Structure 1
Amino acid sequence: MAPALCPRVSRILCLACLLPLAPAVVATGLYELHLVTDSPATTGAEVTITASLVASDNGSLDLPTDTHFYHFHWIHAPLLLTGKTEEAFSSTIRAVGTAPGDFPVSVWVTTADCRMCQPVARSLVVLSVTEFIVGNLAVTQNMSLPWPSSYLTKTVLKVSFLRHDPSNFFQAASFLYSWDFGDGTQMVTEDPVVYYNYSLIGTFTVKLKVVAEWEQTTPDAGKGVMQKTGDFSASLKLQETLRGIQVLGPNQIQTFQKMTVTLNFLGSPPLTVCWRLKPECLPLEERECHPVSVASTAYNLTHVFRDAGDYCFSIWAENVVSETHQYHRVQVWPSSIRPAVFAFPCATLITMMLAFIMYMALRTAAHQKDMVENPEPPAGVKCCQTCCGPFLLEAPSEYLEVVRESHGLLPPLYKSVKTYTV
């Protein structure tokens, strides 16, 4: 047994002696790699990628004070490496893409004295390389709106092309800009900024074609003219402010009748509309009514009044540019009272009576000598007395004269006494 134990003891003692010489072990998962890049870029332009080692719990762990404690490992092929910068806890590389495409770049960190050990942190980023000019269109208006995606008609728009060129690849190039504003207007400029005024509402697409040219000397072909292009577009929604609401509807109605009110909006749809009946014309408070989406400039609302009284339609509307309020007063009558129903027949009856009286007066004046004595009044006069008497408090003098002349002569109160002479 003793000879068998000797080799084991010797191995344990050997490992114990070598243990202090082993590299320090850093627990994985305590650190993260944050990658920052200025991609995308055009072919031939330089791309920069920076990797920073940070604590995974937002910096609560202390990083080692030794600046040479970590080593960054990069894989960037097929991008061509043009430069590399190392710092304490970060590393930056610069690379150039000679062909268009999306290229993954990976990086991991190990301790400096054990490059073959398990990585402390790792990360990956995909770089986009294109053969076209890189940039975007920016559209602004000389007024601030709470809805940045909408713009006002008849107000000057500023459209700018912002070129993305962090490595100054196009610093020696000359540019030409061809604009198409989507409403039939086109122009060509050498300035990347233009000003335009849309007079119509709607959605328009601004298209821009950029051409860059510059001279370049190559070992194979010598001096030549290089050219790159780029196509860009931006969608614009032109709208008008909501200037007001036109309300078309009756101001008087009876109870239990259906009332329809038409709202014409002086502004661009789509709109959000809200209304409510109140005793007085007061603005609507928040959440006082349920909003309705309206996709046109007209909207009909209906209501049936059950109680008589004075009411006010309080209306609120909003589009993506502005908002407005409007009011409409309504007087509701009970169903038993019909002032409008009585007004027309009464006026018609009075007009017919006056026409009849004038007709009788003219007829009497023209045929006064031809009138026949009649103890009974004419049928028309009798009917007028019966039907129209309650409506006339005082009859005109012409009418009384007609009645007086229509009667026969009254007999004398006494008979004359005959006398005889003897």
Structure 2
Amino acid sequence: MRSSISEPRACREKAPGGEPQGTCRRLAAQLTPLGTLSLYELNLTTDGPATTGAEVTISASLVAKDNSSLALPADAHLYRFHWIHTPLVLTGKTEKGLSSTIHVVGHVPGEFPVSVWVTAADCWMCQPVARGFVVLPITEFLVGDLVVTQNTSLPWPSSYLTKTVLKVSFLLHDPSNFLKTAVFLYSWDFGDGTQMVTEDSVVYYNYSIIGTFTVKLKVVAEWEEVKPDATKGVMQKTGDFSASLKLQETLRGIQVLGPTLIQTFQKMTVTLNFLGSPPLTVCWRLKPECLPLEEGECHPVSVASTAYNLTHTFRDPGDYCFSIRAENVISKTHQYHRIQVWPSRIQPAVFAFPCATLITVMLAFIMYMTLRNATQQKDMVENPEPPSGVRCCCQMCCGPFLLETPSEYLEIVRENHGLLPPLYKSVKTYTV
């Protein structure tokens, strides 16, 4: 919903500059389309932060908001930009179309607010069309960035490869060329014990070990400046900068240590040695053939070292292949390990059946022997006189222990053991 700008008191009395009231009314009427603050805004840009003494540029542009369907007026001379920048010193101001630019200098460090608003060109007391606000940081130190690059493009921030040249550059931020006559000296510390001093803002360095390192840089700038008393003095500014680097090694491969032949129901352990930098994400799966793993085909496991053990028990014989995939923050690699599984000599699944069979056979044998002995004793009772051939064999094999009759056996025992009583008493005959 649009709202019109009411005619202010200043316009009712006399417009600034001594213009008649009719002129101010016409300006206010022409400004009516811009009278809704929610439809327009100011875009502010600055080239800050800056060091003390350097010039800073701040620009403001009047634009319609994204959801606004209003078009900006063609006559830009109807509007004026009003700035508040104290205590920054104004060194220049330009206006072009619906934008305004100022140049300021800060002589003390701090964070300084700068505000701007837009009104009718000849009615500074009228309601603002749009407002803008920005905070400008001023520091007594040098302003710049430490940039680290490498020929290898990595998708992870602050991650770089070992044994690959790094380019470390210092980019000075001085858009006003305040330090164009200065001489710079750079002191580098790469965090691994290496230090150097150069006059160039770009160095090349190669890390040979993995780890996280912090590159520190101290910059000193010196230049001559004419003082108010016409004498020359040497001015100096310094700045400290740093950048954190994470040096990694690419995964050059996976070394697999484990058996290639195993039996079913036997626990197998395979050791994976990763030729690269942890932490890693490891994923593996058993396949009939050695094929690469697809995304989502197996569950990844986080590994914080360069070694990992896989354990598995095969239940079915056959030919298998371990498909292994590992990756760190820099690269990924695949590896395969073939293994043949043979049937076990003793299968746990059928172990109970042989045991039951063995026990049954033993019981049958015992019963057979018992029945056989009983049958032999019965035959001996019914047939006291064994066949001659059998008796002869028994005599030859068993010796004196098997005699023809029990009486003979008892007689022999009595003769060998004199202490035994006689087997029978003599019968005396008495005649009457």
Quote how far apart the aligned CAs of 1:112 are: 2.0
Instruction: Kindly provide the amino acid, as one letter, of the partner of residue 331 in structure 1.
Output: Q
Distance 1:30 1:86 in 2: 22
CA contact (8 A) 2:252 2:275 kept: yes
SS in 1 for 2:125: coil
Quote how far apart the aligned CAs of 1:58 are: 6.2
Deviation track 1:35-74 (CA, whole Å, cap 9, x = no partner) reads 1101110000001110011110267421101121221111
Aligned to 2:80: 71
Aligned to 2:369: none
Q: Does 2:332 align with 1:323? A: yes
Distance 1:18 1:191 in 2: 66
CA contact (8 A) 1:68 1:112 kept: yes
Quote how far apart the aligned CAs of 1:225 are: 0.4
- Of 146-155 and 66-75, the range deviating more from structure 2: 146-155
Instruction: Provide closer, same or farther for how the CA distance between residues 304 and 117 of structure 1 changes in structure 2, counting only shifts above 3 A.
Output: farther
Instruction: Kindly provide the amino acid, as one letter, of the partner of residue 328 in structure 2.
Output: N
Instruction: Kindly provide the amino acid, as one letter, of the partner of residue 327 in structure 1.
Output: Y
Match of 2:285 among 276, 284, 289: 276
Instruction: Kindly provide the amino acid, as one letter, of the partner of residue 71 in structure 2.
Output: D
Normalised TM-score (structure 2): 0.71
Distance 1:178 1:167 in 2: 25
CA contact (8 A) 2:39 2:68 kept: no
Distance 1:209 1:182 in 2: 14
SS in 2 for 1:21: helix
Q: How does 1:105-184 map to 2 (within 5 A)?
A: 105-184=114-193
- Of 55-64 and 239-248, the range deviating more from structure 2: 55-64
CA contact (8 A) 2:41 2:131 kept: yes
Instruction: Kindly provide the amino acid, as one letter, of the partner of residue 211 in structure 1.
Output: V
Aligned to 2:70: 61
Distance 1:206 1:306 in 2: 55
Match of 1:226 among 232, 235, 248: 235
CA contact (8 A) 1:29 1:120 kept: no
Q: Does 2:2 align with 1:21? A: no
Paired positions, count: 323
Distance 1:18 1:193 in 2: 65
Quote how far apart the aligned CAs of 1:21 are: 3.3
Q: How does 1:336-375 map to 2 (within 5 A)?
A: 336=345
Distance 2:269 2:230 in 1: 80
Deviation track 1:210-239 (CA, whole Å, cap 9, x = no partner) reads 000000011147311000000011111111
Moved over 4 A (4+): 17-20
Instruction: Provide closer, same or farther for how the CA distance between residues 46 and 267 of structure 1 changes in structure 2, counting only shifts above 3 A.
Output: same
- Of 162-171 and 100-109, the range deviating more from structure 2: 100-109
Aligned to 1:239: 248
Distance 1:152 1:183 in 2: 15
Match of 2:216 among 193, 197, 207: 207
Quote how far apart the aligned CAs of 1:148 are: 4.5
Q: Does 2:54 align with 1:45? A: yes
Aligned to 2:306: 297
Match of 1:187 among 171, 192, 196: 196
SS in 2 for 1:199: coil
Instruction: Kindly provide the amino acid, as one letter, of the partner of residue 231 in structure 2.
Output: G
Which structure 1 segments of 5+ residues have no match?
1-13, 339-422
CA contact (8 A) 1:99 1:129 kept: yes
CA contact (8 A) 1:153 1:200 kept: yes
Aligned to 1:259: 268
Quote how far apart the aligned CAs of 1:283 are: 0.5
Instruction: Kindly provide the amino acid, as one letter, of the partner of residue 136 in structure 1.
Output: D
CA contact (8 A) 1:152 1:238 kept: yes
Instruction: Kindly provide the amino acid, as one letter, of the partner of residue 332 in structure 1.
Output: V
SS in 1 for 2:205: strand
Aligned to 2:319: 310
Distance 2:304 2:67 in 1: 48
Quote how far apart the aligned CAs of 1:83 are: 0.6
CA contact (8 A) 2:24 2:122 kept: no
Distance 1:257 1:52 in 2: 78
CA contact (8 A) 1:28 1:120 kept: yes
Distance 2:23 2:165 in 1: 76
Q: Cα RMSD between the aligned structures?
A: 2.1
CA contact (8 A) 2:186 2:197 kept: yes
Distance 2:193 2:66 in 1: 56
Quote how far apart the aligned CAs of 1:19 are: 12
Instruction: Kindly provide the amino acid, as one letter, of the partner of residue 222 in structure 1.
Output: T
Aligned to 1:249: 258
Match of 1:216 among 220, 225, 229: 225
Quote how far apart the aligned CAs of 1:272 are: 1.4
Aligned to 1:30: 39
Distance 2:338 2:64 in 1: 68
Instruction: Kindly provide the amino acid, as one letter, of the partner of residue 320 in structure 1.
Output: V
- Of 44-53 and 112-121, the range deviating more from structure 2: 112-121
